[in-house]
Amino acid sequence: MATYYCDISIYPTYASIPTWGSCQEGDGTALTAGTSAISSFVINSIATAGSSTISVFGVTLTAVASGASATQFNVGATTTLQADNIATAINVATGLINSSYANTTHQLRNVVYARGPALGAPANTVEIMTRVGTAKWNGLSVLSAANFTVSPTITQPTGGVGGCFGYLFNGNTTIWPSNVAPNSYGCMFNGSGLGPLSGNPINAGDTVIIRGNGQVILLRTSGGYGVLSTVEPDYIIDDGSYWTGDTQGTLTIRATVANTFTYQFGNALNKSCTFRALKPYGLIFEIDAASSAFIEVHGQSASSSTNGRVHYDNILLNDLSVAGGASLGASACPGNQRATWSNVRSYISQNKWPRLFRGGTITWTHDVFFKIQNVLS
Encode pLDDT of 44-77 as tens digits: 999 999 999 999 999 999 999 999 999 999 999 9
Tens of pLDDT, residues 199-234: 788 888 999 999 999 999 887 666 555 678 888 899
In angstroms, how far is the first alpha carbon of the chain from the final one? Answer: 50
**Is the residue at 133 inside a domain?**
yes
Residue 113 and residue 254 in one domain: no
Per the structure, how many domains does the chain have? 2
Please give the pLDDT value at position 377. Answer: 32
Distant-in-sequence, close-in-space partners of 234: CB < 8 Å, separation ≥ 6: 205, 206, 207, 208, 273, 274, 276
Residue 218 and residue 115 in one domain: no
Residue 256 and residue 355 in one domain: yes
Mean pLDDT of 102-131: 94
Residue 361 and residue 263 in one domain: yes
**Is the residue at 96 inside a domain?**
yes
> CA 61 to CA 136: how far, in whole Å?
24
- Taking 60 as the threshold, does the pLDDT of residue 335 lie above it? no
Cα–Cα separations (whole angstroms), residue 131 to 12, 87, 93, 214: 12, 15, 14, 26
- Per the model's pLDDT, the better-predicted residue between 375 and 287 turns out to be 287
- Taking 90 as the threshold, does the pLDDT of residue 322 lie above it? no
For residue 78, the enclosing domain spans 34-158
- Taking 80 as the threshold, does the pLDDT of residue 326 lie above it? no
- Taking 70 as the threshold, does the pLDDT of residue 24 lie above it? yes
Q: Which of 268, 265, 250, 322 is nearest to 296 (CA)?
A: 265
Task: Identify the domain boundary among 158, 186, 215.
Answer: 158
> CA 111 to CA 101: how far, in whole Å?
11
Cα-trace Rg, the chain: 24
**Is the residue at 27 inside a domain?**
no
CA torsion through residues 178, 117, 130, 87, sign: positive
pTM of the model: 0.89
